[in-house]
Chains A and B, each alone.
Chain A
Amino acid sequence: MEKSKRISYSQAINDATSQAMKMSKDVIIMGQLIDYSSGVFGTTSGLINKFGEKRVKDFPAAESLMTQAGVGAALAGQRVLLVHIRIDFMIYSLDSIVNWLSMWRFKSNRESNVPVVIRAIVGRGWGQGPQHSKSLHAWFAHLPGIKVAIPATAFDAKGLLLESIFSEGPSIIIEHRSLFNLKDIVPNRPYRVRYGKAIVRRKGNDVTLVAIGCNVIDALKAAKILKKDGIDIEVVDPRTLTPLDRETINKSVKKTKRLVVVDPGWESFGAASEIITSVTTRQNLHLISNPLRITLPDSHTPMSLALEEKYYINAQKIVNKIKKLLKK
C-alpha cells in the first residue's frame, strides 16, 4: 500500500505543485497573488517560503502577457504553471492560448514543444452570479493542440497536475471551486494520472452515466439514490476531455445500452453533445432509449439563490431525469 493521507482537493493541488517544484528546478509558477498566505484558496500557500520569488511569481493583472510569457519561458527551458484564480480573467489570454500556445507544436512540425500548464478555477454558488461561474471546458476541448483536464477528486487533481507539469505539451486544467474542500485519500508520493484515461467510478448495468467535473459527485449521489429503486447506474468520469477516452465510454454503453451525460456546461455545442455524438455515431449500439444530456440551460448564471437552485444540476435532478427516461 502506498503511504497516503486524507486531504482536500485544494491541498492536493498544493501538494502536487510543491512536489513538482522540488523535483525539478525548471518548474516556475506565475499568477496573481499566489505569494500571499491565502494563496489562491490555499492551492499556492507556502510555496513562496519554500521556493522564493524567482520561481513563485506574483504577476500583474496582465493575463495575456502572462500566458505569452509562459510560452517564452517554456522555450528557454522552464516548465511553467500559470494560475488564474477565476477562469473569467483568463479570457484576456484567449489570443495567447488560441493563436500561440495551442499552435506551437503544430507550426514547428512537432519540433518545438512548450510545457505550459494553465490552472483555471470556475466558481459556483453563493452568488458567484454571471461573472464567476462559467465553465468553459468545451471551448478549450474544441481547440486542437491543447490538452484539457477536469478533475473531480483530490486524487485526480494531484495526479493530473503532476502529469501536466512533466509532460511535453500545453494543457488547461479546469478546476471547479465547489470541489476544493472535498477530501480524498491521496498518496504522498508523486504519481501520475494519465490524460485520455477515463475511470469507471461505479459499476452498473442499466444506464451509463458519464459525468464531468463537479457533476461527478452529483452523479455518484444520484446513482446511490437510484439503486434503492433498483436502477443500476454505471458512472464514468472521463477526467480529461482532450484526449477523450471514447473507448471506456463505448464499452460501458455497449453493456448498458443507455447513455446519459451530465455536464456542468451550457447545453448547445457542449461537451455532452460531443460525447453523445462521438459514441453513438461510431457504431450502432442498439440503444434502448435516446441518449440524454443533462446540462446547464443555455443561459448565464443568475446571482439570486432562488434562481441558482433552478439553474444548477444536483443529484435529485439527475435522479428525476433518469427515472423519466426509463419510464418511456
Chain B
Amino acid sequence: MKKFSHKNISKIGKYKIKIPKRFDKKLANRLFRFMLRLRICELYLEKEYHPADQMKCPVHFCVGEEAIPAVLNELLIEEDFLFSHHRSHGYYLAKNAPMKKLFAELYGKSSGANSGIAGSMDLSYTKKNFFAGAILSGAASIAIGAALSLSLKPKSKAIAVTGFGDGATEEGLFWETINYAGLKKLPILFICENNNYSTYAPQSKRQAGMSIAERVRSFGVDSKQVFGNDVFIVYQELKKAITKARKSRTPFLLEAFTYRQSSHVGPPNDEKVKYKSKKEIKFWKKNCPVALSERVLLMKNFLKKTDINVIKSEIKKEIKSCFDYAKNSEYPSLNSWDDLNLSHNSPLADKLLLDLDKTDFDIEQQTEVSKGF
C-alpha cells in the first residue's frame, strides 16, 4: 500500500506483521514489554477511573496507541525534549518519567509529577525534558523553540520531538510551525498519530486536500506515512529520521496510522455515541500494536507464553504499587498563591545588575507625535 488513509487501511483485513531481518531480539522484546506495560497501565487506570471517580481530572487514555511511545523510549536520549498533546501518558513514560508520579498526579496528590496541580493533559516532568499541554498544536509549536535553541548549540546532538494527533493539524498555528521548521531546517521530529478522530469527527469531515504527510512536504519538511501499529516498521522509520535529525539537523514528520480503542476522554463508554463502526473496531483490535507484536514474537520464538505471563505479573505488581503510592500520598498544601504563579526572584539580575533609581524627569521637552510611516 503506497498511500495510507483510514479508508484503505481497514480493507487490509489481517495485517501481516514481520520482524525485519537482523532485528535485535532483545530490542524486539523490550519494545513489546514497553507496549504491554503502557497497555496494562492504561487499562488499569481506566478501570479505576470510573465509577470510583477518585481521579478527578479529565483523562485521555491511549489504549491502542502504544507503538510510538515504545519506539521513542528506545531512541530518545536524556537531553532530547519531548512535547506531547493532551493524550500524554505514553509520551510521559517514553521519557522514562516515573509511573507512580503519573498516578499520583491523576489523584491530585502532592507526590504527583506536577504536585497534583496540572493533571493528565498538562502533565510534565521537567527533569526529563518532558512537557504536555491540552491546547491543540501547542506542544508542536513550543517544540520549535526548543529546536531553535538546540540549533544554536553546535555540539549538541539533542533534538526536539513532538507528538500530537490528526486534529492538531487543523490549527493555523500548526502551519506556522511547519513553515518555520522547513524554513530554518530545525532539528525537530513531528509525530502525528493519525487515529482518524478528533473527538468523534473523522478526518474526512474536517480536512481538505492531501494527506498531512504530503502537505508538510510542500513546506520543505520531509515526511513519511506508516502503519503505526507495526512497532518494527515504526522503529525503523524513526531510527532513520532521528539519526538524520541528530546529524544533519533537519525536520521530519512521521504520520503514523493508528487507532484509539479508549474513549476520547474518560471511561471507555463513548461507543454509545456511535461514531465508530463495529467493523473498524474489530479490525483495529485484532491489529493493535500489542496483539500484532505478541503474535510475531511468539511465532519467532523470541518469547514464550510463559515469559509473557511473567512479564504481565511483574507489570501488574508495579501498577499495584503505583496505585498504593498515589492513594497513600498527601494532598498538596499551599504556601502562597502569588509565589505559585510568579517568581519574584531574579538570581541572575542580582548578580549582573546594579540597583539604581531616580525620581526626576525633564517635563519641559515636547512630546513629539510620531508619524505613522
Residues of chain A contacted by B146 (CB below 8 angstroms): 72-73, 75-76
Query: Is B232 at the interface (CB under 8 A from chain A)?
Result: no
Are B352 and A75 within 8 A (Cβ)? no
Can you list 5 pairs linking A and B with CB atoms under 8 Å apart?
A: A124-B369, A162-B353, A163-B349, A167-B348, A217-B367
Alpha-carbon gap, A66 to B84, bound state (A): 19
A231 lies within 8 A of chain B by Cβ: no
Pairwise interchain contact B114-A187, C-beta atoms closer than 8 A = no
What's the Cα separation between A166 and B341 when bound, in Å? 18
Q: Once the chains bind, are B342 and A99 in contact (CB under 8 Å)?
A: no
For chain A, residues 80 to 127, give those with C-beta under 8 angstroms from any C-beta of chain B. 80, 95-96, 99-100, 103, 105-113, 123-127
A289 to chain B, nearest CB (A): 26
User: CA separation between A105 and B345, bound complex, in Å?
Assistant: 13
Which residues of B lie under 8 Å from residue A216 when comparing CB positions? 361
Min Cβ gap A296→B in Å is 17
A-B contact sample (13 more), CB < 8 A, given A95-B173, A190-B353: A64-B141, A76-B146, A107-B117, A109-B117, A110-B339, A123-B370, A125-B370, A147-B342, A166-B346, A167-B345, A194-B355, A243-B338, A243-B342
Task: Let me know if B172 and A64 touch, CB within 8 A.
Answer: yes
- With a cutoff of 8 Å between Cβ atoms, the chain A residues found around residue B345 in the complex are 167-168
Q: Which residues of chain A are near B338, meaning CB under 8 Å?
A: 243
Establish whether residues B141 and A108, one from each chain, have CB atoms under 8 Å apart when the complex forms.
Answer: no
> Is B368 an interface position by the 8 A CB rule?
yes
Would you give the 0/1 interface string for B123-150, flagging 1 where the beta carbon is closer than 8 Å to chain A?
0101001010101001001111111111
B307 CB contacts on chain A under 8 angstroms: none
Check: B363 CB closer than 8 A to any chain A CB: yes
Asked if A23 is at the interface of the complex by the 8 Å CB criterion, the answer is yes
A127 to B157, CA, bound (A): 51
Residues of chain B within 8 A (CB-CB) of A224 are: 363
Is there an interface contact between B355 and A68, defined as CB atoms closer than 8 Å?
no
Task: Determine whether B183 belongs to the interface, using a CB cutoff of 8 Å to chain A.
Answer: yes
The answer to whether the Cβ of A177 comes within 8 Å of any Cβ in the partner chain is: yes
- A107 with B369: in contact, given A72-B146, A75-B145, A169-B343 (CB under 8 Å)? no
Point out the residue from B179, B340, B369 that lies within 8 Å of A106, measured CB to CB.
B340
Q: Is B176 an interface residue (CB 8 A)?
A: yes
**Any chain B CB within 8 A of the CB of A256?**
no
Contact A145 B342, beta carbon cutoff 8 Å: yes
Contact of B176 among A65, A147, A178 (CB under 8 A): A65
How many chain A residues touch B (Cβ–Cβ < 8 Å)? Answer: 88
Q: Which residues of A contact B372 (CB under 8 A)?
A: 123, 126-128, 132
Cα–Cα distance between A103 and B142 once the two chains are bound (Å): 14
Residue of A68, A95, A146 most packed against chain B (CB within 10 A): A68
In this assembly, does A189 line the interface, its C-beta being within 8 Å of a C-beta of chain B? yes
Contact indicator A100/B356 (Cβ below 8 Å) = no
- Give B37 Cβ to nearest chain A Cβ, in Å: 25
User: By the criterion CB–CB under 8 Å, are A100 and B138 in contact?
Assistant: yes
B114 near A109 (CB under 8 angstroms)? yes
A206 close to chain B: CB less than 8 A: no
Q: How large is the interface on B (under 10, 10 to 19, 20 to 34, 35 or more residues)?
A: 35 or more
- Is A65 touching B361 in the complex (CB atoms < 8 A)? no
> Once the chains are docked, how many angstroms separate the CA of A182 from the CA of B365?
7
A65 touches B114 (CB 8 A): no
Task: Give the distance to chain A from B121, nearest Cβ to Cβ, in Å.
Answer: 10
Residues from chain B with a CB closer than 8 A to the CB of A62 are 176, 179-180
- Given the contacts A107-B118, A166-B346, A242-B342, A180 and B370 also touching, CB distance less than 8 Å: yes
* Interfacial chain A residues near B355, Cβ < 8 Å: 191-192, 194
Expressed in whole angstroms, the minimum distance between the Cβ of A86 and any Cβ of chain B is 10
Known: A192-B354, A193-B357. A72 touches B179 (CB 8 A): no
Top 9 nearest A-B pairs (CB, nearest first) are A72-B145, A76-B149, A68-B141, A69-B145, A109-B115, A167-B346, A62-B176, A65-B176, A73-B145
A71 at the interface (CB under 8 A from B): yes
Q: Cβ of B122 < 8 Å from any Cβ of A?
A: yes
Distance, CA A155 to CA B358, complexed state (A): 8
B371 contacts the other chain (CB 8 A):
yes
Q: How far is the CA of A54 from the CA of B344 in the complex (A)?
A: 30
A183 touches B354 (CB 8 A): no
Which residues of B have CB within 8 Å of A70? 145
Smallest Cβ distance from B77 to chain A, in angstroms? 14
- Indicate if B81 sits at the interface (CB-CB under 8 A): yes
For residue B58, give the distance in angstroms from its CB to the closest CB of chain A: 15
Interface residue A17 (Cβ < 8 Å from any Cβ of B): no
Contact between B81 and A76 (Cβ–Cβ < 8 Å)? yes
A73→B188 CA distance, assembly (Å): 13
What is the distance, in angstroms, from B356's C-beta to the closest C-beta of chain A? 4
B342 pairs with A125, CB closer than 8 A? no
Q: Which of A28, A99, A167, A178 contacts B135 (CB 8 A)?
A: A99
Residues of B within 8 A of A113 (CB): 343
